[in-house]
A and B are shown apart, each in its own frame.
Chain A
Amino acid sequence: MRYFFNRLGFLLISLWAAVTLNFVLPRLMPGNPAEIMFAKFQGRMLPQELHALELQFGFSNQPWPIQYFQYLGNMITGHFGLSFTYYPVPVATVIATSLPWTIGAVGFATLLSVIVGSFGGILIAWRRGGMLDRTLPIATMFFQAIPYNWSAFMLLFVFGFTLNWFPMYHSYGTNQTPGFNWPFLSSVLRHGVLPVATIFISGVSGWIIGMRNNMINTLGEDYVVFAEAKGVSARRLMFSYAARNALLPQVTGLAIALSSIVGGSILMEQVFSYPGIGFQLNTAVSNEDYPLIQGMFLIIALCVLIANFIVDMVYARLDPRVRTGGASS
């Protein structure tokens, strides 16, 4: 329970830090660039709406602390302001329409790569010194260093443009009506293959190598040696004895990798014009739509933080030492 509140506390502190960054950044920059944005939208927006945004970006005579607490209040109640790009749609609505795409694609791809990668790592550790064991680490190093935008680009070029197997952009065909019908769902799946593949390719090899190294470390532990001496079958030794403990660092690794996966998905969404939060963030940036930028950053941070929190909870489930606080490492 103490562990739970500890992690929850960290979640809240990080969230506060993200909100505060949003508040401080526009005020920190020389010649607040948001000013240009206001000039551009003068007359296209209702005066009181513009006024609310001016307060949000620091064009106000009130002292900083008061501005800050007003800002915090607005964020907590979900008042992110109005988007300029999609005027008069509030930022919160843009978030609601784009978030499911990102969570769907990124979540699925991440789970897939962790599961496939961990199994692959177990297999390679088992056949240590074999062909795969010698070649795969090198391939991994290569794949891990590929920029997401480039792998997305290559996939799109080969499978989208040249072979024409998969559609080139968006998350579903324009002739489909979104809803729970088969043509739409199959279109979503077809559009999702390349985006998911992009994240999968960049991630999976890292999980394989991580699991391989954990397995090798665990296989050296006394209890595994003892089990082996006792005559436990190789399969049981691998899965029940070694793999269970070797999985723990993988879970921690997931928490660390999340931030870079999400960063990669921003690039991936741009290449595929996949209408998730990353794509909206890029749209917002190119339109100098600062309320939308702030809202997108906050929601991306929130998602990563919640995912981290879930990972922490899963870790505690798997490793009882964490929960009880005993034998801390």
Chain B
Amino acid sequence: MIAEATLPKSQPPAVVKKKRWRNLRAFVRNPRAIAGMSILGIFVFIAVFAPWIARYNPQATEFLPSQGPSAAHWFGTTNTGQDLFSQFVWGTQTTLLVGFGGGTIQLILGLTIGMYGGYKGGVIDAILNVLSNIFLVLPALALLIVIESYIRNTTPLINGLIIGLTGWAWGARVFRAQTMSLVGRDFVVAAKLSGQSDWRIMFTEILPNMYSIAASSFMYSCLGAILAEAGLAYLGLENLNSNSWGTILYWAFNGDAMLTGAWYWFVPPGLAIALVGMSFALMNFAMDQITNPRLNVAKRRGSQRDRA
């Protein structure tokens, strides 16, 4: 496994801590990370200050319908005369909330299940591992659709909750592998001998050694949650009066945006999702570069060959 090769080989805690700070400093100076953080920052800003940025009530049908972008309506209006920019702004808030919420639930579940299985080993590990593998192979969106077909008209927050509860498997698998490689290390053994409880060891000794993996897993979880929510809302499984990027797509599709050539209706939400995803990937890429020495070694080799 690549990840295992990158681990510091049982260094004293002080060195590990120092290294972590160095990594963090390298991260905030990495151009890719800066680009990623800026893009995400803009969306977070929009989400937080939505009430002040959105100029109109996103549901109010008080404007001329099917207008293209203009000074008054930056993203145009829907076929029922709603202001699309206001919908987009409020949608940003909902979508990011679902994304981060779903991602957080996935992270917590993944960490708990993955670390516990990897740490305990034996029968518990075998059962948890089969469980996560099952959740990993079952088609997630189909499962979500089936669950939501029984619930109906869910709010975005319930959607986030369900997405979180069903999507933890990938994280669990990664954390399990990482924990298993750490469990035999000296510092873990020492902590065990000193009589610390299992959970304490997991969260204070093992977890700090996989911050970068946890962060990358969290970012993918968030993106996955955003995409899942957009898909579910698009299929009409979310309360249609809610404001999210997915519901804008739903109304665009069902309001014949395509046949009227209203590109301004469906382009912004999809583009925004792709940009958020790109910002996560940029940060991830930067983190990989900093924490995986191998990518750099190979780079040096490659450049030598180019010069020769």
Contact = CB atoms under 8 A, between A and B. Distances in A.
B159 to A, nearest CB: 15
B285 to A, nearest CB: 6
Interface string B264-292: 00110110011111101110010000000
Interface string A266-303: 11001100000000011011101010011011001100
Contact of B145 (A151, A256, A266, A308): A266
A256 B136 contact: yes
Given A142-B277, A262-B139, A271-B253, A219 B134 contact: no
A290 B170 CA distance: 29
Contacts of B151: 29, 33
B298 A217 contact: yes
Interface residues of A, number: 68
Given A10-B133, A142-B277, A285-B235, A297 B270 contact: no
A11 to B, nearest CB: 9
Query: Chain A interface secondary structure, helix, strand, loop or mixed?
Result: helix
A141 to B, nearest CB: 3
Given A140-B281, A157-B258, A270-B234, 14 more contacts: A14-B133, A14-B134, A25-B147, A142-B278, A144-B277, A146-B273, A146-B277, A147-B230, A148-B231, A153-B270, A162-B261, A216-B302, A220-B298, A285-B145
8 contacts: A17-B134, A21-B138, A140-B281, A142-B275, A213-B295, A219-B298, A258-B137, A259-B139
Interface of B: 1-2, 130, 133-134, 136-143, 145-147, 149-152, 170, 223, 227-228, 230-231, 234-237, 249, 252-253, 258-259, 261, 263, 266-267, 269-270, 273-278, 280-282, 285, 294-295, 297-299, 301-303, 306
Interface of A: 10, 13-14, 17-18, 21-22, 25-26, 29, 33, 128-129, 137-138, 140-151, 153-154, 156-157, 161-162, 213, 216-217, 219-220, 225, 255-256, 258-260, 262-264, 266-267, 270-271, 281-282, 284-286, 288, 290, 293-294, 296-297, 300-301, 304-305, 308, 329
